[in-house]
Amino acid sequence: MPLVVRTVRGDVEPSELGPTDAHEHLFFVTPIQPGDEFADLDKAIEEAQTLVAAGGRTLVDWTPLGLGRDPEGLLRVSEATGLHVVAATGVHRDAHYLADDPLRSIAVDALADRFVSDVSGSGVRSGVVKIGASYHRLQPLERTAFAAAAEAHRRTGVPVCVHTEHGTMGLRIVEHLGGLGVPPDSIVLAHLDRNPDAGEHAETGNAGAWLQLDGPGRTKYWPDSTILQLIADLAERGLAGRLLLGGDTGRSSTMRAYGGGPGLDYVFARFKPRLERELGEELSRRIFVENPARAFAFEPR
């Protein structure tokens, strides 16, 4: 079977992705961000159109189960804008779920079955399984989700995308998933730029995992120059072929359609042109086009 990227409108050849925003949320509702939820279809379309206008052709949505995940909504956004949209199934880090959330009592096998049916079932299909880790540790719900994601990967081939908390535990996560049968090149680690340490992430990248940076525009934490320097340092260490970039607009207050900013298009409209000026177009093409076409592709089983 040929490699495909599984989008909400069906499987596409990896070469069809074009410039890709590797981490976004078009719908997201979580108890730990009260007042910052967003679930409006028209606003999602409005926001996605700004990404298209800025040159984006594919968006990977990382919203997992229980947090406003809306595959049908993603399909409508994709149809309205022409964007390729990859949906996620999966379970986020522990903190996003209330004490009585039904996901907390689910068994590994049942959760794996749910992931597999989201990836391979008859509805709008997901193209990644997203899981999450806490700060320097894995909590019980997270261990269950890791095991279920690994089982779903074994059964479908789907890539496993991991939220890291402050960029911690990259290599440990790769080793943990490796022990469960997930090869490093099927693992995408998000938010690594929260810990802008090129040496540490180079080690994780050399183990074969995908390194995702997704904090451009989060000026209150660090300036974009920090991320550009991290990219330059990782490229210098030979990791240009393992880097992915996203915007991770996970709050309504980061969306212009909701009266916030900097907007879903920030990575493409502002950060990418600056990256091209400062680090060159060849590196940009690898990060935004070549690498996503490999990272999010899989051979369906």
Binding residues for Zn ion (CB under 5 A): 62, 248, 250
- Hey, what amino acid is at 1? M
Closest distance of CB 47 from Zn ion, Å: 15
Nearer to Zn ion, 127 or 250 (CB): 250
Question: How many C-beta atoms surround the C-beta of residue 14 within 10 A?
Answer: 17
Backbone angles phi, psi at 143, to 5 degrees: -65, -40
Nearest residue to 155 (alpha-carbon basis) of 109, 194, 201: 109
Rg, the chain, Cα only: 17
Closest distance of CB 62 from Zn ion, Å: 5
Nearest residue to 46 (alpha-carbon basis) of 283, 185, 285, 249: 249
Nearer to Zn ion, 157 or 247 (CB): 247
Closest distance of CB 246 from Zn ion, Å: 8
Closest distance of CB 189 from Zn ion, Å: 12
Closest distance of CB 134 from Zn ion, Å: 15
- Hey, what amino acid is at 30? T
Closest distance of CB 179 from Zn ion, Å: 25
Nearer to Zn ion, 21 or 248 (CB): 248
Closest distance of CB 109 from Zn ion, Å: 27
Nearer to Zn ion, 142 or 151 (CB): 142
CB 168 within 8 A of CB 195: yes
Nearer to Zn ion, 250 or 263 (CB): 250
CB 56 within 8 A of CB 84: no
Nearest residue to 1 (alpha-carbon basis) of 15, 18, 13: 13
Nearer to Zn ion, 4 or 77 (CB): 77
Distance CA 205, CA 187 (A): 10
CB 256 within 8 A of CB 273: no
Nearer to Zn ion, 62 or 271 (CB): 62
The answer to whether the bond into 262 is cis (omega within 30° of 0) is yes
Query: How many residues are there in the chain?
Result: 301
Instruction: Tokens 């779903």: give the residue.
Output: 152
